[in-house]
Structures are given as C-alpha cells and as structure tokens.
Structure 1
Amino acid sequence: MSDEPILVGRVGAAHGIRGEVRVKAFTEPMDAIGDYGPLSLPDGRRLTIERMRTQGDMLVVKFREIADRNAAETLTNRDLTIPRSALPEPEDEETFYHTDLIGLDVVDAAGASIGTIVAVPDYGAGDLLEIRPAAGTSFYLPFTRAFVPVVDVKAGRVVADLPEGFLAEAKPEAGEDGADPSTSEGERGA
C-alpha cells in the first residue's frame, strides 16, 4: 500500500473575520475529516482542525494555524490531504477506498487483459470504474458484483464479467460513411 496523499477536502472561501474557512469535505460523513489528524496543504504546511460545524453541504472550519481573515483567504481553493496510512483499513472485504482501486489491472474471467482502472466516479447512480484499455478510449463499467465479481487489491487486479458484445467494435460497411472499417471507434456498452 502506497502512502501517497489522499484528497479529503478542499478549502472554499474565508468565513467571517476570525480565520474560519468553508471546507468541502470528501469524507463520509463529512465531519469525519476531523478524525485523521493534521491535514496537509499542497505546499507541505499542515493544518490542525480546532473546531468545525456543518453549514449546508459544507463545513465551517477554524484551523489552529490560521488567525485571521487575511490568512484564511490565502487558503481558498487549496486541497486538503492526509497520508493513505491515516485511513483505517476497510471493515470488510466488500469495502474499498477509491484510491486503492485506481491503477488495478482489469482482466476477464480467462485472465485476458481488458485495461487499467483510472478513476472511480459516481455521477449519482452509484460508483463506476473508468477503465483505460491498452488501445482506444476509456469506458465505464458499473462497480457492482454482477460486473466486477472479484476485487483483489493485494494481487493488483479485478475480474470483470462483461456482457457479450460489451467491447465489440462498430464496423461500418466500407464506403457507408467514407470511414475505413479497420479504424472504427469502439462502442461504449451500458
């Protein structure tokens, strides 16, 4: 397991005159951002949460190291990170940190390479795996047991069970649209 920085929040605007800032937390629940100890800025400075409160979908945070509004304004749009080692291990085999999935190889049931996980977005309907094949454009796969029955973080791979034709290439007839059928783009399955 690498100990690269994990993004847990982003500082928004200064709030008031006493050095508070608005923070968009990426933890669940959002106030869990205070459970990991000092937070790091991209420039290496560390910030300690002195107090925080919820305000809508944001937190209002007072960092011990920030004394006034002027200092708070210098933090606007800065990322807040923690080392991966600060995160507790998942409670069960079915729970994964997105950061642990990114970079894993994706193979089919026979072990043939499909690609590599490059992102784990959630656009509102559940987590997706963005997979980049060795050639061609990346595609999305629902991160469900039906599509991804095996996740083996230690082995560095996931097994994908793709429906027939999921990665089939569209092959237009020669001359149909002037395209060379050997260079057609792949279809993105649903």
Structure 2
Amino acid sequence: MTTAQICVARIGAPHGVRGQVRLWTFTEDPFAVCDYGPLATKDGKRTIEIDNVREAKGHLVATLKGVTDRDAAARLNGVELYVARDALPDTEDGEYYHADLIGLAAVNAADEAIGRVVAMHDFGAGDIIEIAPPSGPTLLLPFTDAVVPTVDIAGGKVVIEMPGEIVDDDPAAADD
C-alpha cells in the first residue's frame, strides 16, 4: 500500500540568475517546508532538497541543491513538491489535511448519499469543498461548520447541510 502524499509547496519562476526560485508553500508556517527533508514530485521520480529559504513578498525565495543557474530554475517552474502524509504533524480537533477529506462520502443529515468529496479549494476567502454527485455537475460549497457540521474521517464520510440558497434554488420560481 502506498503512503498518501501531501503537496506542501509549488516551485515558481526563477528569482535572479543564480538558480534561486520563488516558492509557494502550503504549510501553516511557510518555513516548515524545510523541516521535511527531501521533497518528491507527485510521481515520486525526482526528489528536491531545499538548501535555504528567505522570505519575500507573498512567497519564499529558495535555493535548491543542484540548481545553480536560471535555466535550471526555469525548468522547475510549476513543479509541486510532496511529502508523505505520515511525515506531517497530527492535526488539532476541527483541523484536517485536504488529502484526508478527498474521497470521503458526502451524505445529508439522514445519511442519504449526496456524492463524494473530489477536491478542496482555497481561493482566498476560505476553503471550498467540491462534491461530485452520482450525476450532474459537481457542487462547490463553503467548508464551514454550518455546511459541513460533521467530518468523520474514520467513518469515511462528511455530513452536508445544503445552504438554503442551493436547496431552494428553482430557476422557474425566479419568473414568478
């Protein structure tokens, strides 16, 4: 069985001419990305070691081992860096790694199937849970206590309370 991988950073464009890169981290403490040792690409075929980092506006600037010029840095632009899920610290109550939520069944309060969690998004205004129903378009809902009152990772499900504007959304009613 393979260990779940968690994306902890994404390499951006080169910074300067000596091989440094912009680095966007997805860890609570941006500098924690240095604590996990070598990071792997999603396919696991390549590992990348962070030699050092410094803070910049909205991201980090990183020196990566073996990357010594702008061309080598440019080839890494967009590469996501992963770590094994079990290498990450445990979460507090009410906190979840997105990877732990993806794949869970989504049910309503009566335990009736709504679909499956296929993604988690953060567009800047809070987390969004994406649920794929058995048919039709996916649902994008706010990942709040009101909409997702129960997360049962051990039980393999999340309970969804549909917001009123979605439950009562009837295009024909708008014509009245």
TM superposition score normalised by structure 1: 0.79
Question: Can you give the 5+ residue segments of structure 1 that lack an aligned partner in the other structure?
Answer: 177-190
Question: Can you give the 5+ residue segments of structure 2 that lack an aligned partner in the other structure?
Answer: none
- Structure holding more strand per residue: 2
For the residues of structure 2 that align with 1:165 and 1:70, how far apart are their CA atoms?
50
- Would the alpha carbon gap of residues 122 and 156 (structure 1) be closer, same or farther in structure 2, given more than 3 Å must change? same
Report the Cα offset of residue 42 of structure 1.
4.5
Report the Cα offset of residue 169 of structure 1.
6.8
Give the corresponding residue for 2:134: 134
For the residues of structure 1 that align with 2:149 and 2:2, how far apart are their CA atoms?
25
Aligned length: 173
- Would the alpha carbon gap of residues 151 and 30 (structure 1) be closer, same or farther in structure 2, given more than 3 Å must change? same
Larger Rg belongs to = 1
For the residues of structure 1 that align with 2:25 and 2:7, how far apart are their CA atoms?
9
- Structure holding more helix per residue: 2
- Give the structure, 1 or 2, with the largest relative contact order (CA under 8 Å, sep 6 or more): 2
* Cα deviation code 1:11-59 (max 9, x no counterpart): 1222233321111222222222112211113562211111100110121
CA RMSD of aligned residues (A): 2.5
* Cα deviation code 1:52-79 (max 9, x no counterpart): 0011012111112223333223212222
For the residues of structure 2 that align with 1:130 and 1:140, how far apart are their CA atoms?
5
- Maintained 8 Å contact 1:148/1:160: yes
For the residues of structure 1 that align with 2:17 and 2:54, how far apart are their CA atoms?
16
TM superposition score normalised by structure 2: 0.84
Q: How does 1:69-108 map to 2 (within 5 A)?
A: 69-90=70-91, 92-108=92-108
For the residues of structure 1 that align with 2:119 and 2:130, how far apart are their CA atoms?
5
